[in-house]
Chain A
Amino acid sequence: MEKIREKYDKHVVASSYLVLAPQIIGLIVFSIYPVFWVIRYSVYHYDGITASFAGLENFIRIFTRDSGYWMSILNTFIIAYGKLIIEIPLSLMAAMLLSKKVLKCKKLFSVGFYMPNVLGIAVSAMIFTFLFSSFNGIINNFLIFAGIIKEPHNWFSDKWSAMTVICTHSIWVGFSTNMLFFMAGFQNIPDDLYEAAEIDGASKIKQFFKITIPMIAPTLRIILMLAMVNGMKMTNNVLLLTNGGPAGKTNVVMLYIYKAFFETGAKAQYGYASAMGVVTSVIVAIVTLAYLRISKKSANVY
């Protein structure tokens, strides 16, 4: 007892807790309580008024009968990772070019590239709806002009073209974030490495694959990690661009759950929606852990 009193200054303890009180209350009320709420109601049938115990029925329904849920999971992965096929090379290329020491107007370029990020989802989704609109939207006009399509295409009428719009939008918004991460990563590469390689007569391409790529592997890991975590959380962009349409074919998982909670129709099924929330967070946790494991192993290679 004496020891504790010695270690802690009473005044500091009191003022620390006073300052942290709102945070601690908020943590319990708005973060931890919802977790328990969701877990609890995942084993109930609950329509907002009466709750009856359901056992594992909700979970059985997810795993056996709800193909819409699994399609939304698949769509989430397709969008989160599919866009990286274009986004990573694009942002890496832009980062390398912007990192050139002789370049002028560096600032102007990076400010311009990052601009879509600050617009906010409502505005940028509106702009994209406008660009891709089926009434002579400028994208349709351009594609007709270039001879790629013959008549205006309704981009939101079939799954894959709607997914294309979603991915294009997220690349437009997101590539600069990755570009900035890469640029930060480049700053950690000492110039000596390139100078030594230059003296040894390594070509630029060889330098890129033998120095740049291994040295930015940690950055790449962060980017892939963020792509996954942010990808699983993705809601607003799909909600505002396609609203999951046509006929729910572009739903992503968080949007699917959101609709189960808030666009309930005749009978609310909060219990079932909670069960989907539980399953989803377990999936996210598993994927995240697996990813951390794999990337740790591959980090040892270098």
Chain B
Amino acid sequence: MKQAKRINFHDIVTYIFLIVLFLVVVFPVAYAFISSFKNTSEILAGTNFIPENWLWKNYTEAWKIAQFGIYTWNSVYYSFFCVLFALISSALSGYVFSRGKFPGKNIVFGMQTGMMFIVLGTSSLYPQLQILKWLHLNTNLWGIILMQFFCGSITNIFLVRGFCDSLPKEMDEAAKIDGCSFLGTFIKVILPLLKPVMATIGILSFQGAWNDYLLPMIVTLGNPSQRTLPVGLVALKGSSDAAAAWNLILAGAMISAIPMLIVYIFCNRYFIKGLTAGAVKG
């Protein structure tokens, strides 16, 4: 009897701790969401928690006047191509690094892994931009999309390679006997099995592209019509009449956040799976 009571007490403390932590974590987003329906003077006064009138027009104004409609479209196609290229390049490279036998394999793989250890950070941005400038792609998003095509993330390649390594080699051999070429085996045998890994990579690169800030900001500096949502949001905050536009800023923040949150709610297991897999392997 006593034993049961003590366990209950522990459980209650556990639940209280977790619920409080949950509320603290979720509160900033919930508060910003609620505030995005207030008018500016209400936001600046900061007195009432729930808006007096729920102003949907903050969203329509952000969409039309503050150009979040254009930003959304830019974000959509930018993310689409980044995800597409991330999927293609990581699947193919991962497969080749796992199954291909060719001279120089270890050198190429070793160089790719080795580059992870040279942390140049922001100092590599400038030379990269010089290359894009040389290709006349330094003032729009296509430059970054191109870079995405040429630079697959090594973490993603690791993920696919690890998964391919775990598949039995006999399958390849059977396919080969049936007349499949090296790449034919990939398309017909391996790729269908890669689906869970592809889902993880797709979700993670979507998250990365949708939220990407620094590079899209730099390339769209002189070209506001190319801004993606994060870039446009920060630009609005930095504009001259920012203090009067907090309602639009918050509505814009929610326009950027909500698509991501919807994907997250439905696919959260991929986010978490990719995180742990990437860290252990990478």
**What residues make up the interface of A, taking CB atoms closer than 8 Å to B?**
4, 7-9, 11-13, 15-17, 19-20, 22-27, 29-35, 37-38, 90, 93-94, 97-98, 100, 102-103, 108-124, 126-131, 135-138, 141, 172, 176-177, 180-181, 184, 222, 226, 229, 232-233, 235-236, 239-240, 253-255, 257-258, 261-262, 270, 273-274, 276-278, 280-281, 284-285, 288
Contacts and interface: CB of A to CB of B under 8 A. Distances in A.
A181 B275 CA distance: 9
Interface string B164-187: 000000000000000001110000
Interface of B: 11, 14, 17-18, 21-22, 25-26, 28-29, 31-32, 35, 44-47, 89, 92-93, 95-96, 100-103, 105, 108, 111-112, 115, 117-128, 130-131, 147, 149-152, 181-183, 207, 210-211, 213-214, 218, 229-231, 233-234, 237, 243, 246, 249-250, 253, 256-257, 260-261, 263-265, 268, 271-272, 275-276, 279-280
Contact of B207 (A108, A118, A276): A118
Task: State the main secondary structure of chain A at its contact with B.
Answer: helix
A90 B22 CA distance: 12
B126 A261 contact: yes
A23 B102 CA distance: 15
Contacts of B271: 114, 117-118
What 8 pairs between A and B have smallest CB-CB spacing? A120-B211, A277-B123, A26-B150, A136-B46, A122-B230, A258-B122, A16-B100, A34-B124
A273 B127 CA distance: 12
B247 to A, nearest CB: 11
B256 A123 contact: yes
A277 B121 contact: yes
A34 B93 contact: no
A288 B232 CA distance: 36
Contact of B119 (A112, A138, A284): A284
Contact of A103 (B14, B44, B126, B234): B14
Given A11-B182, A29-B131, A115-B26, A180 B272 contact: yes
Contacts of B128: 30, 34
Given A38-B124, A235-B121, A27 B111 contact: yes
Query: Considering residues A119, A128, A141, which has the most beta carbons from chain B within 10 angstroms of its beta carbon?
Result: A119
A233 B121 contact: yes
B123 A273 contact: yes
9 contacts: A20-B93, A30-B150, A32-B115, A33-B127, A35-B120, A118-B263, A126-B234, A176-B25, A177-B275
B101 A8 contact: yes
B32 A109 contact: no
A257 B14 contact: no
A217 to B, nearest CB: 15
A26 B151 contact: yes
